[in-house]
Amino acid sequence: MENQVLLEMKQISKTFPGVKALKNVHFKVHKGEVMAFMGENGAGKSTLIKIITGYYRRDPGEGQFLFDGKEVNPRNTDEAQKLGISTIFQELNLSPFLSVAENIYIGNTPKKHGMIDWDTMNQNAKKALLDLGVDIDVTAQLSQQSTAIQQMVSIARALARNTKLLIMDEATSSLDTGEVKVLFDVVKTLKSRGIATIFVTHKMDEIYQVCDSATIFKDGEYVDCLPLSQLPKLKLISLMIGRDASELVNKRKVYDPDKGKAEIICRVVGVQKANHRLNGINLEIHKGEVLGLSGLLGSGRTETAKVIFGDDVHYDGEVYMGQTAIRFKCPADAMKKGLAFCSEDRKAEGIFPYMSVQDNLTMTILSKISRFGILNKREQQKRTLEYIQKIAIKTPGPSTKIKDLSGGNQQKVILSRWLATHPDLIILDEPTRGIDVGAKGEIEDLIKQISDSGISVLYISSELDELVRECDRIVILHNGKNVGELRNEEISSDAIMGVIAHGRIDT
Amino acid sequence: MAEHVQKEPLSFREIFIRYGAVIALAGLILFNALITKNFLSLNTLWLVIKQATPILFMTVGMTFVISSGGIDISTGSMMAFCGIIVSLGITNGGNFIFWCIVGLVACGAIGVFNGWLIASVGVQPVILTLVMQIVMRGITVLMAKSSVFVLGGFPEVKTLGLYRFPGRVPIQIIFFVLIILAGVFVLWKTLLGKYVEAVGSNPKAARLTGVRTVAVIIGVYMISAILAGSCGILEMCRNAALDPNELGKLYELDAIAGVAVGGTSMKGGKANVVGSIAGCLIMVLIGTTVNMNGIPFAASNIIKAGIIIFALAIQRERSV
């Protein structure tokens, strides 16, 4: 049973106009195996997954796609699902206004006399979720549930359709540490039932917690497939980026003890919100330091950032810039006082997808470089080229639409957009989310340069490694309150986890 | 995730979205040149310009609104509202220019109100402007006490509506050129044009990059209202009369159609003002074609509908 091959692909290629996205890729997944697909953006993971799930069709001719011993060629996602292949995406394809049970059985509803059999449906749904360790009211509207629960609902939906292979595409990006653990327990349960899982993620640590093996791709080609026990992290990264990665990892920052004594440029005192998302946040940000903000999802990190940047004006408490208390009416006011904010959600709050790199990069300074409201396109282009060169943004040119750039390069454009304003304090909310390893390193280096140039950074991240590498000081939040602070040598992943756990017990 | 940067040459579809309206306009002219008798004469050109100028004002305004991610279907009633203010003013012995300014300021104020409700309060633009369409029409009819104004006796109205320069060139050509230059200039060259596209493309990102989105949206609806008011004055002068029940009725649909055919994204974020101008001319020219070939006028609406559906179908988001 263990060694039975469930999915085997041989010599799979996929050509898009002008690009060969996959070149003779091959791999095998066994029943009950949890396999990670690893590779940088553009390595072909997504394309391959879209072929497996029937979203794309592979190049005809050579190659074979064997599932459960038979040769198959799903023509659409529906056919793939009938074969037993389901996908859980980062953005869930659920109907928020239907009930939990309806979402699980949609398109597959138990019927009695041609009508929906609500009792059976709700009972089955309850049982399906209990199997996954979730005990909720299945008649409640889905949108009332947390993202983590919604994820469980989509897994339950997949299982209700007799799934043999589950694909998780960045399924953990919007979950916090505790929720990820629950998800992994579910994956382990599925494993014991012989269901195989393919796991795609940018979070290195996670695959070591849950996966048996990893298949590595680079530039649309198969690189290697190894059991994780024979694949230390450094080797994995090196295979992914195709060069030695030792300089990327565990490079602890060199402290400058003077930073903690420098003047305070921004102070947050007792900030609360009526909806209890924030219950008394206190921060002091010194000139030139990198202050990390850690805590679980929902601990108030992003909310704090939005209060400081004037995007959220409904709060009690005070924000000081220098010595003066200030209430911004909108982000434009905050920008005038030397603030910058890079949102965690690049797609929804960062880029203007159909506008050019140039427009995206200079949007923050357009009014400064225009005269009498008339655009100065030459100046726009000059500034853009300056940053393309300085920060090594990979783009065919300043007029390319930003949506055609990779995630890492989009992020570089957004960072440039803020550097161009010459801020005193830049707030970075999950600056490396959804970015591949190589680009992550570059973004981290860039942040170091930013802080070296005297700009203060408020660094929000769920990735403890990153905080440990980057920060002079870390404030840990829980339930919208400060629960602890670590500085300089005290900082380590374990110490942060300790404070988070302590905060949890306290409240 | 792993999106591949693809350098593709422009596909047929992209070419069509970008230049489709201009191509279609050329096609329509060619078609008429072959089919329609007496089409290829300067008189036809002057006729089209005379008819197109008022609605072109509204179409340019609509381009602003739609590329900011909204829509304004109150513009037809706005025309009549502006018309009634001017009519009441001059029939009571007032100065024509003065009352035109009063009318346009009143329209602008209502536009600001629309924009404020949409941007600050969060009312859906379609619903709000639909309500405004009904309300403004009602106010107009009440102000007119349901009577039709005949304005042929006022020299300014006659000049603005019917004057022809030597060579039978209609006076409308001045406004025709002005609105094209102004529209292209603002949307291509100014900060406002860029901000409108940014707000239409991603309102949250625009706000977070320091664009005062509320002000931009208010500005956009104000522009739309003032241009609709101008459209009302020009159209009233061309008719030398004002029927408060009828002036501007369904004009907003022609304007929206012109914008859609012109390749401005209906979801906002991408303005194609040249396309809008061509789209507007197409709408007018279809009417002319139908008229000159003796086809019933109602048929022109069916042809227009076909063109709009084609334009929207080709604009759809690529599914893969």
The tens digit of pLDDT for each residue in A267-323 reads: 999 999 888 888 889 999 998 889 999 887 778 889 999 999 999 999 999 999 988
State whether residue B8 sits within 8 Å of chain A by CB: yes
| Pairs of residues, one from chain A and one from chain B, whose beta carbons lie less than 8 Å apart | 119
Q: Which residue has the higher pLDDT, B231 or A453?
A: B231
The tens digit of pLDDT for each residue in A319-356 reads: 999 889 999 999 999 999 999 999 988 888 999 998 99
Q: Within its chain, how far is the Cα of B19 from the centroid?
A: 19
CB contact under 8 A, B202 and A348: yes
CA distance linking residue A55 with residue B213, whole number of Å: 38
Banded pLDDT at B135 (limits 50, 70, 90) = very high
- Check whether A131 has a pLDDT greater than 50: yes
Residues 6 or more apart whose Cβ sits within 8 Å of residue A505: none
Query: How many structural domains are present in chain B?
Result: 1
CB contact under 8 A, B208 and A366: no
Q: Residue A42: list chain B partners with CB under 8 A.
A: 2-5
- Check whether A247 has a pLDDT greater than 70: no
Banded pLDDT at B11 (limits 50, 70, 90) = low
CA distance linking residue B252 with residue B231, whole number of Å: 11
Mean pLDDT on A116-145: 86
Q: Which of A18, A349, A355 lies at the smallest CB-CB distance from B201? A: A355
Count of other CB atoms within 10 angstroms of residue A368? 12
Overall residue count recorded for chain A in this entry:
507
Structure tokens at A168: 């998780």
Mean pLDDT on A100-113: 85
Q: Which of B2, B192, B210 lies at the smallest CB-CB distance from A46? A: B2
State whether residue B207 sits within 8 Å of chain A by CB: yes
- Candidate from A258-262, A412-416, A419-423, A501-505 with smallest mean pLDDT: A501-505
Count of other CB atoms within 10 angstroms of residue B153? 10
CA distance linking residue A302 with residue A305, whole number of Å: 5
CB contact under 8 A, B2 and A350: no
CB contact under 8 A, A349 and B204: yes
Using a pLDDT cut of 90, give the percent of chain A over it: 24
Q: Which of A363, A366, A405 lies at the smallest CB-CB distance from B5? A: A405
Banded pLDDT at B320 (limits 50, 70, 90) = very low
Find the residue in B nearest to A202 (Cα): B1
Q: Which residue has the higher pLDDT, A205 or B90?
A: B90
Average pLDDT value over all residues in chain B: 89
Mean pLDDT on A430-441: 81
State whether residue B265 sits within 8 Å of chain A by CB: yes
**Is B71 domain-assigned?**
yes
Structure tokens at B112: 């600001």
- Burial-class residue B249 by CB neighbours within 10 Å (0-12, 13-18, 19+): middle
Find the residue in A nearest to B199 (Cα): A352
- Check whether A359 has a pLDDT greater than 70: yes
Q: Which of A18, A45, A366 lies at the smallest CB-CB distance from B2? A: A45
Count of other CB atoms within 10 angstroms of residue B315? 19
Q: Residue A404: list chain B partners with CB under 8 A.
A: 3, 5-6
Architecture of domain A250-338+424-507: 3-Layer(aba) Sandwich (3.40)
Q: Which residue has the higher pLDDT, A9 or A242?
A: A9
Q: Which of B201, B207, B209 lies at the smallest CB-CB distance from A417? A: B209
Q: Residue B8: list chain A partners with CB under 8 A.
A: 17-18
- Check whether A236 has a pLDDT greater than 90: no
- Check whether B95 has a pLDDT greater than 90: yes
Looking at this predicted complex, what is its ipTM?
A: 0.84
CB contact under 8 A, A349 and B205: yes
Residues 6 or more apart whose Cβ sits within 8 Å of residue B155: none
Among A363, A393, A421, the residue to mutate for chain B (most B Cβ within 10 A): A363
The tens digit of pLDDT for each residue in A388-421 reads: 999 888 888 898 899 888 888 899 999 999 999 9
CA distance linking residue B58 with residue B79, whole number of Å: 9
pLDDT at B233: 96
- Check whether B12 has a pLDDT greater than 80: no
Closest of A201, A350, A290, A196 to residue A486, by C-alpha: A290
CA distance B116 to chain A (A): 16
pLDDT at A18: 64
CB contact under 8 A, A352 and B205: yes
CB contact under 8 A, B208 and A405: no
B:96-155 residues touching chain A, CB 8 A cutoff: none
Find the residue in B nearest to A334 (Cα): B210
Mean pLDDT on B271-295: 88
> Which amino acid belongs to residue B87?
S
Mean pLDDT on A175-198: 85
pLDDT at A299: 82
Contact between B221 and A324 (Cβ < 8 Å): no
CA distance linking residue A86 with residue A26, whole number of Å: 20
Q: Residue A332: list chain B partners with CB under 8 A.
A: 210-212
pLDDT at A443: 87
pLDDT at A505: 41
CA distance linking residue A502 with residue B232, whole number of Å: 69
Among A354, A359, A415, the residue to mutate for chain B (most B Cβ within 10 A): A354
Residues 6 or more apart whose Cβ sits within 8 Å of residue B142: none
> Which amino acid belongs to residue A151?
Q
CA distance B266 to chain A (A): 13
Residues 6 or more apart whose Cβ sits within 8 Å of residue A6: A29, A30, A31, A33, A67, A68, A164, A165, A196
CB contact under 8 A, B207 and A396: no
CA distance linking residue B36 with residue B31, whole number of Å: 8
Banded pLDDT at B86 (limits 50, 70, 90) = very high
Find the residue in B nearest to A341 (Cα): B208
Structure tokens at A398: 């300043």
pLDDT at A327: 92
Banded pLDDT at B316 (limits 50, 70, 90) = low
Q: What is the DSSP letter of A252?
A: P
CB contact under 8 A, B207 and A311: yes
The tens digit of pLDDT for each residue in B194-214 reads: 999 999 999 999 999 999 999
CB contact under 8 A, B205 and A330: no
Structure tokens at A53: 């799930």
Contact between A386 and A365 (Cβ < 8 Å): no
Q: Residue A44: list chain B partners with CB under 8 A.
A: 2
CB contact under 8 A, A355 and B197: yes
Q: Which of A309, A332, A374 lies at the smallest CB-CB distance from B189? A: A374
Banded pLDDT at B150 (limits 50, 70, 90) = very high
Q: Residue B212: list chain A partners with CB under 8 A.
A: 330, 332
Contact between A391 and A416 (Cβ < 8 Å): yes
pLDDT at B2: 38
Closest of A349, A409, A333, A421 to residue A383, by C-alpha: A421
Banded pLDDT at B5 (limits 50, 70, 90) = very low
Q: Within its chain, how far is the Cα of A458 from the centroid?
A: 19
Pairing of strands B149-150, A70-71: unpaired
Find the residue in A nearest to B267 (Cα): A354
Q: Residue A19: list chain B partners with CB under 8 A.
A: 4, 6
State whether residue B205 sits within 8 Å of chain A by CB: yes
Q: Directed axis angle between helix B172-189 and helix B191-201, to 10°?
A: 70
Query: The CATH number of the domain where B243 resides is what?
Result: 1.10.3470
- Which H helix or E strand runs over A485? strand A481-487
Contact between B227 and B60 (Cβ < 8 Å): yes
Strand locations in A149-192 (E): 165-169
State whether residue B319 sits within 8 Å of chain A by CB: no
pLDDT at A1: 44
Contact between A243 and A228 (Cβ < 8 Å): no
Banded pLDDT at B6 (limits 50, 70, 90) = very low
State whether residue B243 sits within 8 Å of chain A by CB: no
Strand-pair partners of A167: A87, A198
**3 state SS for chain B:** CCCCCCCCCCCHHHHHHHHHHHHHHHHHHHHHHHHCCCCCCHHHHHHHHHHHHHHHHHHHHHHHHHHCCCCCCCHHHHHHHHHHHHHHHHHCCCCHHHHHHHHHHHHHHHHHHHHHHHHHHCCCHHHHHHHHHHHHHHHHHHHHCCCCEECCCCHHHHHHHHCEECCCEECHHHHHHHHHHHHHHHHHHEHHHHHHHHHHHCHHHHHHCCCCHHHHHHHHHHHHHHHHHHHHHHHHHHHCEECCCCCCCCHHHHHHHHHHHCCCCCCCCCCCHHHHHHHHHHHHHHHHHHHHCCCCCHHHHHHHHHHHHHHHHHHCCCCC
Q: Within its chain, how far is the Cα of B146 from the centroid?
A: 26
Find the residue in A nearest to B201 (Cα): A352
- Check whether A504 has a pLDDT greater than 60: no
pLDDT at B203: 93
**Is B36 domain-assigned?**
no
pLDDT at B58: 96
pLDDT at A501: 67
- Burial-class residue B12 by CB neighbours within 10 Å (0-12, 13-18, 19+): exposed
Q: What is the DSSP letter of A339?
A: E
Mean pLDDT on B242-263: 91
CA distance B40 to chain A (A): 40
List, as one string, the DSSP characters of A182-241: HHHHHHHHHHHTT-EEEEE-S-HHHHHHH-SEEEEEETTEEEEEEEGGG--HHHHHHHHH
The tens digit of pLDDT for each residue in B17-68 reads: 677 788 888 888 888 888 887 888 888 889 899 999 999 999 999 999 999 9
Phi, psi of A249 (to 5 degrees): -105, 145
CA distance linking residue A56 with residue A45, whole number of Å: 13
Mean pLDDT on B245-249: 91
CA distance linking residue B25 with residue B21, whole number of Å: 6
CB contact under 8 A, A354 and B265: yes
The tens digit of pLDDT for each residue in B176-196 reads: 999 999 999 999 999 999 999
- Check whether A100 has a pLDDT greater than 80: yes
Q: Which residue has the higher pLDDT, A248 or B257?
A: B257
The tens digit of pLDDT for each residue in B104-130 reads: 999 999 999 999 999 999 999 999 999
**Is B24 domain-assigned?**
no
> Which amino acid belongs to residue B210?
G
Q: Which of B189, B193, B201 lies at the smallest CB-CB distance from A353? A: B201
Q: Which residue has the higher pLDDT, B178 or A55?
A: B178
CA distance B10 to chain A (A): 12
Strand-pair partners of B238: none
Within chain A, which residue ranges are assigned CATH 3.40.50.300? 5-241, 250-338+424-507
State whether residue B318 sits within 8 Å of chain A by CB: no
Residues 6 or more apart whose Cβ sits within 8 Å of residue A47: A14, A21, A22, A56, A220, B2, B4
Residue B230: give the domain boundaries: 42-314
> Which amino acid belongs to residue B237?
C
Contact between B105 and B89 (Cβ < 8 Å): no
Taking CA atoms, A285 is separated from A268, A483, A491, B46, in Å, by 9, 17, 17, 68
Find the residue in A nearest to B265 (Cα): A354
Q: Which CATH number fits domain A5-241: 3.40.50.11600, 3.40.50.300, 3.30.479.30, 3.40.250.10?
A: 3.40.50.300
Structure tokens at B65: 């609104």
Mean pLDDT on A38-65: 82
pLDDT at A109: 82
Return contacts of B168-176, CB within 8 angstroms, 24+ apart. Answer: B168/B42, B168/B43, B168/B46, B169/B46, B170/B46, B170/B49, B170/B50, B172/B49, B172/B50, B172/B53, B172/B54, B172/B234, B172/B238, B173/B46, B173/B49, B173/B53, B175/B53, B175/B57, B175/B234, B176/B49, B176/B52, B176/B53, B176/B56
**Is B15 domain-assigned?**
no
Among A217, A345, A366, the residue to mutate for chain B (most B Cβ within 10 A): A366
Pure H helices in A74-146: 77-83, 100-105, 118-131
Closest of A67, A58, A35 to residue A164, by C-alpha: A67
Using a pLDDT cut of 90, give the percent of chain B over it: 60
CB contact under 8 A, A332 and B208: no
Q: What is the DSSP letter of A244?
A: -
A18 SS3 class: coil
pLDDT at B319: 34
